[in-house]
Chain A
Amino acid sequence: MAEGIKKKLLYVNRKAPYGTIYALEGLEVVLVGAAFEQDVSVAFLDDGVFQLLDGQDTADIGVKNFSRAYKALGDFEVRKVYVERESLAERGLDSADLMQITYEDENDDGAEKPLVRLIDRRELAHIMSEQDVILSF
């Protein structure tokens, strides 16, 4: 894509996985969209926080467990992943319930660093207000 038209793009994920197709579709769009080299952020709020919980096991519901693909977000050049603190708390969850997702920091000799950042609702509202485009799932 040509220089100068890089857009700030936020993917908003608000649904739990498996009950509907939203979570998987959202993930696939993020991964496919990575090829377009935009300024991407991915936010998980409301039931969307369930997408990142550690220990998902879909063996008995006959649906592919796509949760491990979130661990590849760093490989797809995604560097801004946000989880809303209030959404976790409302559901009786905290950061210890989330998968460990890391990325290789090329500016630091490939060191593995945590990719997910916990933010509060006010900060997420501010991030939303800075975007060129918001895509909701």
Chain B
Amino acid sequence: MAYQVGDVVAEADEEGYLQDISLWSEELAQAIAKSENVELSPEHWEVINFLRSYYAEYQIAPAVRILLKEMKKSFGPEKGDQKYLYSLFPYGPAKQACKIAGLPKPTGCI
């Protein structure tokens, strides 16, 4: 499969993760989210932006515990919560949010 934004065609694997993560853009995130039936709100972007900045620093996706801690610290206790994250990303903050954020598929079952 592939996503298309303007002239850019971004190939993805069978689960929808980008083959070339350097192609990611905010527009591409919108396209990935659409194919996941997720409508991106500012709250989604809070998660996506954190995932991207963590990945930029460490070259891996954060542990879920770290994501929760960071959300709590930056956006308040009600957002540092698994249920809240699943309400944004029904298929899970690790799998689905990483996909939209243009991170590689997480290696673990986390």
Binding site for B on A (CB under 8 A): 28, 31-32, 34-35, 64-66, 68-69, 71-72, 75-77
Contact = CB atoms under 8 A, between A and B. Distances in A.
A68 B63 contact: no
Majority DSSP secondary structure for residues of A touching B: helix
A53 B110 CA distance: 28
B62 A75 contact: yes
A125 B108 CA distance: 30
B107 A75 contact: no
Given A34-B63, A75-B63, A75-B66, A68 B107 contact: no
Nearest to A64: B59
A68 B110 contact: no
A36 to B, nearest CB: 10
B13 interface: no
Contact of B59 (A34, A35, A65): A65
B57 interface: yes
